[in-house]
Structure formats: structure tokens, C-alpha cells
Amino acid sequence: MKIKNVTVAGGGVLGAQIAYITAFHGYNVTLWGRSEGSIERIKPRIERLHNIFSKELDLAPSYIGEENPDYPRSFFKDKSEITQEKIEELKKINDKIYKDLKYTTDLDEAFSNADLVIEAIAEIVDEKKAFYEKISTHLKEDTIVVSNSSTLIPSQFREYTKREDKFLNLHFANNIWRQNVAEVMKHDKTSDESFESVIEFAKSIGMYPAILKKEQAGYILNSLLVPLLDSALMLYGDDIAEPKDIDMDWKIGTGAPKGPFEIIDIVGITTVINITKASPKAQDPNSALAKAVKKLEERAEKGLKGVESGEGFYKYK
Amino acid sequence: MKIKNVTVAGGGVLGAQIAYITAFHGYNVTLWGRSEGSIERIKPRIERLHNIFSKELDLAPSYIGEENPDYPRSFFKDKSEITQEKIEELKKINDKIYKDLKYTTDLDEAFSNADLVIEAIAEIVDEKKAFYEKISTHLKEDTIVVSNSSTLIPSQFREYTKREDKFLNLHFANNIWRQNVAEVMKHDKTSDESFESVIEFAKSIGMYPAILKKEQAGYILNSLLVPLLDSALMLYGDDIAEPKDIDMDWKIGTGAPKGPFEIIDIVGITTVINITKASPKAQDPNSALAKAVKKLEERAEKGLKGVESGEGFYKYK
């Protein structure tokens, strides 16, 4: 199916980014919010994205050639595409879409013409179920529905969508114009056609589609990241090495830009405590992981919660 | 203790690098080899290092200022230390030490004046035990002995050294002039004084000392890397995602320069098979990890063994 009209449901940080980048790549985008209040919270996020994209495009000439190896990969297919002409064209698009985005709380207006619905509402199972049921009667027969969930899997929700074969997950990373990877995960009832359409859609908005052929809790990225962070936390829990040394060893040894404890500071210690506590390896209170959770909790009580609180394992101005 | 004379035992890839960087930082270095044959195998490695260091120093002016964020960190404490004067000084040192390195097969010549012995012989338990016993009668009372083992822990060997309090591990990474991290691991009988001396020694040769206060199989780096690679292999074993997508997701999502399967290609698939087979998680033949090992073995049989064989998960010219 040719996707033209895309509706993004939920205007949180990710919802706004997904809507914006989709519009930026030429789709007709509607943002649906549950209430007028939620619409009003979306608008400043979109405004901020308009500014960020403007700044990225102002910087873009420095990405031409070999000067700067980094560039916003969702804007340009490769470095050869970065030309003054292209930059000017994207600037015009950026200023236009900003005004053309549609906002609504009306279900029919939002969903009856959508070719693709991207659900980016809160990670609350019952809310998602209710949402899918509610929109199902408003959709066209061929609408594809995807969830941006980062933790839940499609088979939990598919029956509520009334279109199991046209439902799957499309999970974006934060700052998607730079971290341009989208995890596309099917379940065993997703049709090949819907799967392919969503993969093509992801490519068309400048994403690298990381394809999951089967359901996997944690998708790809968190399936790798959580064990890495757990291993670092175990060294810390058993008092084998200090976070700074663990980070430096990892960074120097692998060339990674961030060490595990820098990542923990970014994710936020409260979230890391919640995820880690649920791990089977943390159930024995004498385990290294349980001891690490205890140390994290002590730090959290002192307000050392990571980047957002200004200090975690490191200080942030 | 003031360390001045350092003897490196074993002139494999790492032994040669350790000896060279130690001499480069002003120590009086002796390379001990088991036989004349092993001495003859060391010399071309040292010659190659002399050339590499020359090239690095020729390139060093480009590291001045902000042009190139990367630089060989074991040569300069920080970027402000990179000056034309310093570069010239290091070039002279590089040409001098190359000729001043001492080689011997004689135990007394190698060990009786050593303040520090760095053991970098093969990772074979019995060979290491025999080596420690053999040298123990040749050492001064205050000589500190360290092992560069990457997989074995000091308590396995300490009794053979006849100096448990002056024995610990100092594990280097490959290409140590750039990957300048050294894991310093004590056991419960290592004296604080020896531990501190080795930490200071590591700093003095331009290393970041990553300190392990207790024994840990896998040290820091492999304690993190193995679970990361295992997790990637499990996704592959269960046919959830393809290596290329796993790598891209990891690289875009975390900014890491290499994905798990690129690292597996560098380590070499044969080594990865051997390590992974020994994992408790791979013992059930229906486990994701066991299925991954099977797939790796099929690839290895086809000669797809990684960088060294010219092709693994990726092609190398």
C-alpha cells in the first residue's frame, strides 16, 4: 500500500519527533491528542523541533566533505547528498511543515483517512488496549497500525486492533534525526505485505530499519544494552572496580563514546533500579546485582539520580 | 620501590608491545625469550613497533589543536602536551630505545636485577607455573612480578612465585600505544605497596590503570564484552535479527564504532566459538546460544573465520 496520510497518536517527546520527521519527509501528518490539554503540550515540542532542525541545517555546510564525519543521517542519504542546494530545499520544507502539521482530538478526523497510524502513547498496557479498541472502528480497512513501544510486544495488543495482520511494532530512538534507527518487529500474524510496507516507510523517513523477524522483549538495542549494564553493575555491586575505571576501560578498550555508568546516568538511576530489580539475577539479595541495586538506591536517596538531577556517577553542570 | 629495571618475559605480539612502550617511557628493559629461536622471532616485532611509533610521531602534528580529536594517548598526557618540541624529543627516544633494548635467554641476566618482571608468555597454566618456579630463585627479594594474562587469575599462580605479596596481574590491551588501558588486578595476599607500585608504573608508561580491587575472571573489559557478544549471538541463534541489523542498531543507538559481529570478526570466530561453548548458557542444545555456536561452526567450516581469514560476517579486502 502507498502510504500518504500518517497519524501519530500521542505527543510526548518521541511522538512529537516521529510526527515531525515524518512530515519533514513529505507525508501528510496528523497529530492526535487525547484532549485539548495534550494538544497544547505537543505544540511547544514541535516548535522546539523546528528550531533544532533549523540549527542542524545551518550547521549542515560544515558536514560537506571530510571536515566533520558526523551528520544528521535522517536528513541526507549519504554525505554526497549534502549540497548547498539540498540544504536550502530542506530549510524551506522545515519552515513549511511546521505550519502544515494538523492537530486534532477528533477520532474520525485523525484516523478515518490514515494509511498508517503510529501509536506513541504512554507505556501502560490497559491504556494501549483501550486506545486500539477505540480507534479500530474509525480506521479504513487497509490502515496499518504500528506501536512505538520500547518494552511491550505486539502479540499483547494485536487482538484489540481488529487487524492482526496489519499490526506490528516500529520503535524509534530518541533524537531520531541523528539516531536514525527504527526497530521493525513483526509477530507471527503480521502479513509480509504490512511488514514490507513499514520497512519501506522507515527507510523513506531516513531511518535505518533494524528488522526483527520474530518478537523479542527488549527488541535489539535493549537486548544488548541491558546485559552490558548488568555486567557493569555486578562489578560495582561486588566492589571489584569503581564506576570511573569500568567506564574508562570500556571506552578505551572498545572506542565506545560512553561507558556503562555514563549511560546509566543518562537513562536515569530510578529507571535503572526499576529495570534491574525485576531481573531474575537480582532476586537473591546476596547476588552482585542485588548489591548493586542497594548501592544505587542509596545514591538515589541522596539525590544522585543521573543527568536529570544534575549529578549521578558524574556531575552535570 | 623505585622501578628502574623491567624484564618482559615472552615476545609475542603483546610482550613486544609492552617491552617497547616501557622502554619508550625511560625504563631499562630486557626481553627474555626461552630460546634463541624465540629471540629471533621477537626482533622483527620490535622493528615493526619502531616503524609504527615513527609513523605515529610523523602524524602527531595533525593531532595538535582541535583538528583531530584522536591521538596516541600513551605518548602524550593530554593534547596540550603535543608540541613540535615534544614530538622531536620522542622521535629521538624512539630511535634510541630501538637499539638499546636487551635480549637474552639467560635467567640470571634477565631476572637477577629486575625490579619488575612482566610475564607475557603463552596462556598455558602449566607453562606459567613452571616459569614462575624457574625464575623465583633468580629474583631479588623485592622484585615485583606481574602477569599479563587476560583469562587467568593471580591466585592460580601466586604460590609458584614464592612472593605472594609481590605478585599481581597487569593486563594490557592490543595496540597499547593507543588503547592505553591496563587492568591492574590484585588478589587477597597482594600487598598494598606492590599494588600501588604497579598502578604508578602503569601510569608512568602512559596507561590508564583500571583498578580491580579483587580477583575477577574476565577482568573488567571481558566481563562486559562477553555478555554483550553473548546477547548478540542469542538474537542471531534464535534467528530474530541478522548480524548486520544488530550491528547497525548498536552503532547508531549507542554511537559505538563497532557492532558485536564486527568485534566477533576481529576476535576471530574460532576463539569466539571456544569461549561461547564453555558458557553455562550454551550447554542446552536448544538454547539460543547453542544454536548460535552451531551457526558459527558452519561458517567456520566454510572458512568465514573473521578478519584474519579475509571474510567473516563482513568482507575484508
Same domain, B35 and B184: yes
| B315 belongs to a structural domain | no
Flag whether residue B307 sits within 8 Å of chain A, measured between CB atoms.
no
- The answer to whether the CB of B33 falls within 8 A of the CB of B42 is yes
B254 near A CB under 8 A: yes
In a domain, A313, yes or no: no
Rounded to whole angstroms, how far apart are CA atoms B260 and B233?
A: 8
CATH number, domain with residue B63: 3.40.50.720
- Mind telling me how many Å the CA of B227 is from chain A's nearest CA? 6
Distance from CA of B37 to the nearest CA of A (A): 32
Enter the C-alpha cell of residue A249: 576501560
B169 and B242 housed in the same domain = no
Per-residue confidence (pLDDT) for residue B66, from 0 to 100: 61
Q: Based on the fold, state whether residues B52 and B100 are members of the same structural domain.
A: yes
Q: Is B93 on the interface with A (CB under 8 A)?
A: no
At B147-198, the pLDDT tens digits run: 999 889 999 999 999 999 999 999 999 899 999 999 999 999 999 999 999 9
Q: Say whether both B265 and B197 belong to one domain.
A: no
Q: Which of A179, A245, A260 sits opposite B210 (nearest CB)?
A: A245
User: Which position has the grid cell 543521573?
Assistant: A306
Q: Are residues B164 and B83 in the same domain?
A: yes
The total number of structural domains in chain A stands at: 2
Mean pLDDT calculated for residue range B79-85: 89
Of the residues B165, B180, B212, which one is the last residue of a structural domain? B212
Q: Do A227 and B223 touch (CB under 8 A)?
A: no
pLDDT at A97: 92
B250 lies within 8 A of chain A by CB: yes
CB atoms under 10 Å from CB of B283, counted, come to: 11
Is the pLDDT assigned to residue B269 strictly greater than 60?
A: yes
CA distance B172 to chain A (A): 10
Task: Tell me if B253 and A212 make a contact (CB, 8 A cut-off).
Answer: no
**Judged by CB atoms within 8 Å, which residues 195-214 of B form the interface with A?**
208-214
Q: A181–B230: do the CB atoms touch at under 8 Å?
A: no
- How far apart, in whole angstroms, are the C-alpha atoms of residue A167 and residue A161? 7
- Residue in the structure block whose three cell numbers are 484516523: A111
User: What phi-psi label fits residue B125: left (phi over 0), alpha (psi between -120 and 50 degrees) or beta?
Assistant: alpha
Judged on CB neighbours under 10 Å (0-12, 13-18, 19+), A113 is: middle
Q: Give the pLDDT score at B262.
A: 97
So what's the ipTM on this one?
0.92
Give the pLDDT confidence of A101-120 residue by residue, as tens digits. Answer: 999 999 999 999 999 999 99
B218 domain residue, yes or no: no
Enumerate the β-bridge partners of residue B112. Answer: none
Provide the pLDDT for residue B80.
85
Given CB atoms, is A227 within the 8 Å cutoff of chain B?
yes
By Cβ distance, the residue of A181, A245, A257 closest to B252 is A181
CA distance B68 to chain A (A): 10
On whether residue B208 sits in a domain, the answer given is yes
Among B212, B233, B257, residue at a domain's last position: B212
Q: Do B258 and A258 touch (CB under 8 A)?
A: no
Judged by a CB distance cut-off of 8 A, whether residue A257 touches chain B is yes
Residue B311 falls within a domain, yes or no? no
Asked if residue B291 and residue B142 are part of one domain, the reply reads no
A289 and A200 belong to one structural domain: no
**Whether the Cβ atoms of residue A221 and residue B154 lie closer than 8 Å to each other:** no
Whether B71 and B101 map to the same domain: the answer is yes
Of B208, B220, B228, the CB nearest to A224: B228
Domain span at A283: 223-304
As a whole number, mean pLDDT of residues B220-225 equals: 96
CA separation for the pair A211, B226 (Å, rounded): 24
Q: What pLDDT is attached to residue A150?
A: 85
For B216, which of A180, A235, A242 is closest by C-beta distance? A235
Where helices occur in chain B by DSSP H, the ranges are 13-24, 36-59, 84-100, 107-111, 125-136, 158-161, 192-204, 221-237, 243-254, 260-267, 269-277, 288-301
Whether the predicted pLDDT of B87 surpasses 90: yes
Q: CB-based contact (8 Å) between B39 and chain A?
A: no
| Residues of chain A neighbouring B231 (CB-CB closer than 8 A) | 223-224, 227-228
Q: Is B313 contained in some domain?
A: no
Percent of chain A whose predicted confidence (pLDDT) is above 70: 98
pLDDT at residue A169, as a whole number? 97
DSSP 3-state assignment of A1?
coil
- My answer on whether A233 and A172 are in the same domain is no
User: Binning pLDDT at 50, 70 and 90, where does residue B77 land?
Assistant: confident
Domain termination residue (choose one: B153, B187, B212): B212
Chain A CB contacts of B206 below 8 Å = none
Provide, for chain B, the percentages of residues in helix, strand and coil under a 3-state DSSP scheme, each rounded to the nearest 5: 50, 15, 35
- Does some domain include residue A202? yes
Question: How close does chain A come to B100, measured CA to CA in Å?
Answer: 30
pTM of the predicted protein model: 0.91
CA A222 vs CA A150, A154, A173, B44, B250: distances in Å: 9, 16, 11, 45, 9
Which candidate from A210, A230, A232 shows the least CB-CB separation from B248?
A: A210
Name, in order, each residue with C-beta under 8 angstroms of B23's C-beta and a sequence gap of 6 or more. Answer: B29, B97, B100, B101
Q: Can you read off the three cell numbers belonging to residue A251?
A: 571506552
Q: Strands B181-185 and B167-172, how do they pair?
A: antiparallel
Chain B CB within 8 Å of residue A180 CB: yes
Q: Are residues B171 and B200 in the same domain?
A: yes
Number of A to B CB contacts under 8 A, please give it: 144
**Residue B67: pLDDT band with limits 50, 70, 90:** low
**pLDDT exceeds 70 at position B128:** yes
Give strand ranges (E) for chain A.
5-9, 28-32, 102-104, 116-119, 144-147, 167-172, 181-185, 208-212
Q: What is the CATH number of the domain that holds B240?
A: 1.10.1040.10
- Within this chain, do residues A94 and A234 fall inside the same structural domain, yes or no? no
The mean per-residue pLDDT over the stretch A58-83 comes to: 82
Residues in chain B with CB shorter than 8 Å from the CB of A209 are 245
Smallest CA-to-CA distance from B220 within A262, A252, A315, A226 is with A252
Interatomic CA distance for residues A81 and A181, integer angstroms: 19
Q: Is A52 on the interface with B (CB under 8 A)?
A: no
pLDDT category at A1 given cuts 50, 70, 90 is confident
Give the minimum alpha-carbon distance from A128 to chain B in angstroms, rounded to a whole number: 25
Q: Which of B66, B254, B258, B264 to mutate to test the interface with A (most CBs of A within 10 A)?
A: B254
pLDDT (average), residues B224-238: 97
**Could you report the per-residue pLDDT of A37-58, keeping only the tens digit for each?**
999 999 999 999 999 999 999 9
Domain assignment of residue B291, yes or no = yes
Question: Are A233 and A199 part of one and the same domain?
Answer: no
Chain B interface includes A99 (CB < 8 A)? no
pLDDT band for position A77 (cuts 50, 70, 90):
confident
Average pLDDT of span A185-190: 97
pLDDT at A68: 61
A128/A130 Cα distance (integer angstroms): 5
